[in-house]
């Protein structure tokens, strides 16, 4: 597959290598800062991004930029009609808006809080564990995540998805709190805490704490390579799903829709 990369930072470089190892061709790399990108554009110049993708002959697009740029990029790229995978996080509150826009222009986009296969298996484990533990009222639940100090959003998209999976079991946890508590938490509040430090690729924990013991579930990424491999694989699967009719154009999809 011929792939255009919008965003050529550390993750963009890793995605390029993952795509090449899988036998695909990266026909263009586009960035606002990277001097080694094939196309360097001014910040906010989505017209230049669209022109670069069009002229490259790309058959699919992977966007991995910054939370401040992602919405404008997605809006600019969707009308091209190419399968689009977005790895940038920090825009969960705009998913419905983008799904409606995709319907209007006939574009197709897939996004996930994390493209690592291991993380997506962790989601399923957390969801099942939450359903089991919620039956035992002595056990409260909370989550915590740790990432490198260059990460632009907090909490991570992965942490928010983990929290959503917890809520599927703990029906009484109706409010996710991501700020520090300055008073006792209410029974309906699920605390999602974050730490930013050093070069940590990503660690996520779920705690089920009772009076007698604590159960911890942990996912620890050893590198960002898993994210890159998953992003490439997701674009291939999205393209195949469109061609087979498993999904249709004009929508926003998630991991579970494609895999």
Is 28 marked as a binding-site residue?
A: no
Return the pLDDT at 219.
Answer: 97
Residue 151 annotated as catalytic: yes
Contact 36, 8 (CB under 8 A): yes
> Could you read off the pLDDT of 153-182 as tens digits, one per residue?
899 989 999 999 999 999 999 999 999 999
Decide if pLDDT at 152 tops 90: no
Is 169 marked as a binding-site residue?
A: no
Return the pLDDT at 124.
Answer: 95
Is 64 marked as a binding-site residue?
A: no
> Could you read off the pLDDT of 129-140 as tens digits, one per residue?
999 999 999 999
Contact 58, 83 (CB under 8 A): no
Q: How many CA atoms lie within 13 A of 38 on its CB side?
A: 16
Distance CA 128, CA 55 (A): 46
- Confidence band (pLDDT; 50, 70, 90) for 114? confident
Please give the backbone phi and psi of residue 77, each rounded to the nearest 5 degrees, phi first: -85, -30
Q: Average pLDDT over the chain, rounded to whole?
A: 96
Is 158 marked as a binding-site residue?
A: yes
Contact 91, 66 (CB under 8 A): no
- Domain coordinates in residue numbering, the chain: 2-115+225-258, 117-220
Return the pLDDT at 72.
Answer: 98
Is 148 marked as a binding-site residue?
A: yes
Return the pLDDT at 70.
Answer: 97
Contact 39, 54 (CB under 8 A): no
Terminal Cα-to-Cα distance of the chain (whole angstroms): 19
Cβ-based burial of 48 (10 A; exposed 0-12, middle 13-18, buried ≥19): middle
CATH superfamily of the 117-220 domain? Dihydrodipicolinate Reductase; domain 2 (3.30.360.10)
At the top level of CATH, the class of 2-115+225-258 is alpha beta
* pLDDT (average), residues 20-25: 98
Q: Which of 54, 94, 151, 182 is catalytic?
A: 151
> Could you read off the pLDDT of 191-240 as tens digits, one per residue?
999 999 999 999 999 999 999 999 999 999 998 899 999 999 999 999 99
- The pTM (predicted TM-score) of the whole model is 0.81
Contacts of 11 (CB under 8 A, 6+ apart): 64, 87, 224, 227, 228
Residue 94 annotated as catalytic: no
Is 112 marked as a binding-site residue?
A: yes
Is 68 marked as a binding-site residue?
A: no
Decide if pLDDT at 188 tops 90: yes
Decide if pLDDT at 101 tops 90: yes
Return the pLDDT at 113.
Answer: 80
Q: Which of 24, 147, 204, 219 is catalytic?
A: 147
> Could you read off the pLDDT of 55-90 as tens digits, one per residue?
999 999 999 999 999 999 999 999 999 999 999 988
Return the pLDDT at 30.
Answer: 98
């Amino acid at each position: 597959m011929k792939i255009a990369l919008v965003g050529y930072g550390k993750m963009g470089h890793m995605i390029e290598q993952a795509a090449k190892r899988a036998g695909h061709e990266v026909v263009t790399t586009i960035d606002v800062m990277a001097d080694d990108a094939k196309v360097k554009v001014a910040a906010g110049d989505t017209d230049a991004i669209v022109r670069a993708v069009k002229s490259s002959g790309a058959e699919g697009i992977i966007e991995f930029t910054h939370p401040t740029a992602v919405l404008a990029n997605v809006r600019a790229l969707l009308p091209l009609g190419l399968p689009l995978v977005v790895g940038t996080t920090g825009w969960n509150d705009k998913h419905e808006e983008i799904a409606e826009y995709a319907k209007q222009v006939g574009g197709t986009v897939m996004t996930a809080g994390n493209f690592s296969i291991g993380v997506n298996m962790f989601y399923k484990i957390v969801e099942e564990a939450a359903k089991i533990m919620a039956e035992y009222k002595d056990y409260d639940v909370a989550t915590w995540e740790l990432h490198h100090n260059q990460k632009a959003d907090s909490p991570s998209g992965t942490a928010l998805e983990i929290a959503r999976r917890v809520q599927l079991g703990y029906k009484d946890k109706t409010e996710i709190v991501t700020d520090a508590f300055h008073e006792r938490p209410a029974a309906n509040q699920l605390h999602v805490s974050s730490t930013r430090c050093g070069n940590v690729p990503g660690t996520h924990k779920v705690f089920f704490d009772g009076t007698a013991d604590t159960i911890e579930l942990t996912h620890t990424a050893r590198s960002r390579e898993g994210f890159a491999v998953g992003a490439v694989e997701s674009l291939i699967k999205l393209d195949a799903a469109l061609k087979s009719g498993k999904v249709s154009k004009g929508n926003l999809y998630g991991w579970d829709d494609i895999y």
